[in-house]
């Protein structure tokens, strides 16, 4: 079953045509990595999925519901089922870790405080930060912040997780911890769309890799095929550049 | 200089100071309410609300407080909106209300800019994270943005209070018995052209200086948090 179906999605920023007739499907339980040069529209595509960015035209179907249909469906309720993790973490600076994680479940799902805390502790254990429940974001390293941000998103028990370069702002020695958490999520069957520069992660963990260039999806398919045998010249060009870094 | 008149007239200065502080307090209080609404309009994506807020803010900041005061004091009764006319603690309530309204309307424009700047200084990732969790706009504002913006806003509000206390001297013109008005009364009664005004100036200064020290402390504490 398709969890997300993107049909003829276009996005303009003023005159700038950033997404050009994008079609993409994400199946339930699938892990899709989106790669491509900087400025190719990866973040914009991801942010259109929960309408942090307003699509200019086209449609996005999420669990058989058009997220563009404001009359029938409240976008805020749809967003509860789509967790998002940002490059810059965006933890709530004025709240401690526990409050960061429990705020949305308490306010939006009307879960009582104690239960929300129990869920939060389980998630903290899962991301390996049980001892940081009382810490404030300013007291955490980048890698810890990002793992908390993942826990915060998971606390809403979303059906899909959207990651926008979750490790790009991290010191190299922190990247592994975050990728580990994401790997475990994937293994549990979470549906994930991951914009990333981590080619080895895309190769090893993703079920499917999508390459974007200048607002188009120029190639997609199984990671082995994409990395060993890309067809599109721009895809070859991009991969040869990034894979040389390894 | 001879300050012996203070023995007989110190009550004038005390009552005047009370009225001045009371007036400034209410002006800033209602100014904050007006300012929050205007700031919300200003940062909203609704062009109409944005326009209203911009016009209000520009107009108020581009015209003298004295003109605004007269428009409200003389203009509103002319339009059929009468101020009440009875005394309370020796102060005509209607005049006081007119003064508070004029000062709040004026201060609201400045407070709006304080709030707008404070809100926009909060990283926009904070709003995005809140919205991505499914929190509606106003809830995100209230739970995430405003508490963080307050850090920048609180000291600036303290400064606005100081400005309002100084500017409030102008309401003596419509007969509000504030510090300025009472100092002028003492000047008339004692035939001393100078000393009563010096006393008023010193009182204004002591109030504003104390407040600005307090704001300074506040800024420091907010910084270390
Ligand atoms: N809010 C915005 N306003 C105007 N242009 C934008 C905005 N966000 C992104 N862009 C432009 O859209 C293009 C795609 O950006 P983005 O989706 O962030 O690319 P990527 O994530 O692949 O690096 C870039 O040219 C970028 O400058
Ligand atoms: Mg990006």
Taking a C-beta distance cutoff of 8 angstroms, is the pair B112, B145 a contact?
no
Res. B220: pLDDT tops 90:
no
Taking a C-beta distance cutoff of 8 angstroms, is the pair B88, B12 a contact?
no
For residue B45, is it within any domain? Answer: yes
CA A82 remoteness from chain centre: 9
Distance B111 CA to ligand 2 centre (A): 36
A52 touches chain B (CB under 8 A): yes
For residue B1, is it within any domain? Answer: no
- Side-chain-side CA neighbours of B45 within 13 Å: the count stands at 2
Provide the shortest C-alpha distance from residue B121 to chain A (in Å): 13
- Which of A88, A94, A104 comes nearest B133 by C-beta? A104
Q: Of A169-178, B82-91, B118-127, B128-137, which range is least confident?
A: B82-91
For residue B158, is it within any domain? Answer: yes
Asked whether A42 lines ligand 1 (CB < 6 A), one says yes
Exposed, middle or buried: residue B202 (CB in 10 Å: 0-12, 13-18, 19+)? exposed
Taking a C-beta distance cutoff of 8 angstroms, is the pair A158, A83 a contact?
yes
Res. A245: pLDDT tops 60:
no
Q: Has this prediction a pTM greater than 0.90? A: no
Distance B219 CA to ligand 1 centre (A): 37
Instruction: Give residue B225's pLDDT.
Output: 58
Whether B135 sits inside 8 A of A88 (CB atoms) is: no
pLDDT in tens, A78-119: 999 999 999 999 999 999 999 999 999 999 999 999 999 999
Ligand 1, atom 12, lies closest to the CA of A18
Domain carrying residue B72: 7-222
pLDDT in tens, A114-160: 999 999 999 999 999 999 999 999 999 999 999 999 999 999 999 99
Three-state DSSP at A159 gives coil
Three-state DSSP at A1 gives coil
Q: CATH number, domain at A190?
A: 3.40.50.300
Q: CATH number, domain at B192?
A: 1.10.3720.10
Question: What's the domain count of chain B?
Answer: 1
B121 touches chain A (CB under 8 A): no
Most B CBs within 10 A among A93, A123, A154, A155, hence the mutation to make, goes to: A93
Taking a C-beta distance cutoff of 8 angstroms, is the pair A190, A178 a contact?
no
Instruction: Give residue A30's pLDDT.
Output: 97
For residue B205, is it within any domain? Answer: yes
Whether B132 sits inside 8 A of A88 (CB atoms) is: no
For residue B44, is it within any domain? Answer: yes
CA–CA separation, A83 and A27 (whole Å): 16
Asked whether A41 lines ligand 1 (CB < 6 A), one says yes
Q: Which residues of B touch A52 (CB under 8 A)?
A: 128, 131-132
Asked whether A9 lines ligand 1 (CB < 6 A), one says no
Domain carrying residue A233: 2-243
Question: What's the domain count of chain A?
Answer: 1
A23 touches chain B (CB under 8 A): no
Taking a C-beta distance cutoff of 8 angstroms, is the pair A90, B125 a contact?
yes
Q: What number is the average pLDDT over the span A207-224?
A: 96
């Amino acid at each position: 079953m398709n969890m997300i179906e993107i049909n003829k999605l276009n996005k303009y920023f003023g005159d700038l045509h950033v997404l050009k007739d994008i079609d993409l499907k994400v199946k339930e339980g699938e892990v899709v990595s989106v790669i491509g040069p900087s400025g190719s529209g990866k973040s914009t595509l991801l942010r259109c999925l929960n309408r942090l960015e307003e699509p200019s035209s086209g449609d996005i179907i999420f669990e058989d519901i058009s997220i563009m249909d404001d009359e029938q469906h409240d976008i805020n309720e749809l967003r509860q089922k789509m967790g998002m993790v940002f490059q810059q973490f965006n933890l709530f600076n004025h709240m401690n870790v526990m409050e960061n994680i429990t705020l949305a479940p308490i306010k939006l799902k009307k879960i009582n405080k104690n239960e929300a805390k129990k869920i939060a502790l389980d998630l903290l254990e899962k991301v390996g930060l049980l001892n940081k429940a009382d810490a404030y974001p300013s007291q955490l390293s980048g890698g810890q912040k990002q793992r908390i941000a993942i826990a915060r998103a998971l606390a809403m028990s979303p059906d899909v997780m959207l990651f926008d370069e979750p490790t790009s702002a991290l010191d190299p020695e922190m990247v592994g911890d975050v990728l580990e958490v994401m790997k475990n999520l994937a293994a549990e069957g979470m549906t994930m769309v991951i914009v990333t520069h981590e080619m080895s992660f895309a190769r090893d963990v993703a079920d499917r890799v999508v390459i974007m260039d200048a607002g188009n999806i120029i190639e997609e398919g199984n990671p082995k095929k994409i990395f060993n045998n890309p067809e599109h010249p721009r895809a070859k060009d991009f991969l040869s550049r990034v894979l040389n870094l390894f | 200089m001879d300050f012996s008149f203070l023995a007989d007239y110190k009550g004038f200065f005390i009552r005047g100071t009370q009225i001045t502080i009371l007036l400034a307090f209410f002006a800033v209080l209602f100014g904050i309410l007006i300012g929050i609404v205007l700031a919300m309009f200003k940062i909203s994506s609704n062009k109409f609300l944005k326009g209203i807020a911009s016009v209000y803010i520009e107009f108020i900041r581009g015209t003298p407080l004295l003109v605004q005061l007269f428009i409200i004091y003389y203009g509103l009764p002319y339009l059929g909106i009468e101020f009440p006319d009875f005394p309370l603690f020796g102060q005509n309530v209607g005049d006081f209300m007119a003064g508070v309204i004029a000062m709040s309307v004026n201060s609201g424009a400045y407070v709006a800019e304080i709030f707008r700047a404070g809100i926009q200084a909060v990283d926009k990732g904070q709003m995005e994270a809140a919205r991505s969790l499914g929190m509606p706009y106003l809830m995100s504002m209230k739970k995430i943005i405003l508490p963080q913006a307050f850090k920048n806003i609180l000291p600036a509000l303290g400064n606005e209070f100081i400005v309002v206390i100084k500017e409030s001297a102008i309401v003596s013109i419509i007969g509000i018995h504030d510090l300025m008005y009472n100092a002028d009364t003492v000047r008339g009664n004692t035939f001393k052209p100078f000393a009563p005004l010096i006393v008023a100036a010193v009182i204004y200064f002591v109030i504003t200086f104390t407040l600005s020290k307090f704001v300074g402390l506040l800024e420091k504490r907010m910084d270390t948090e």
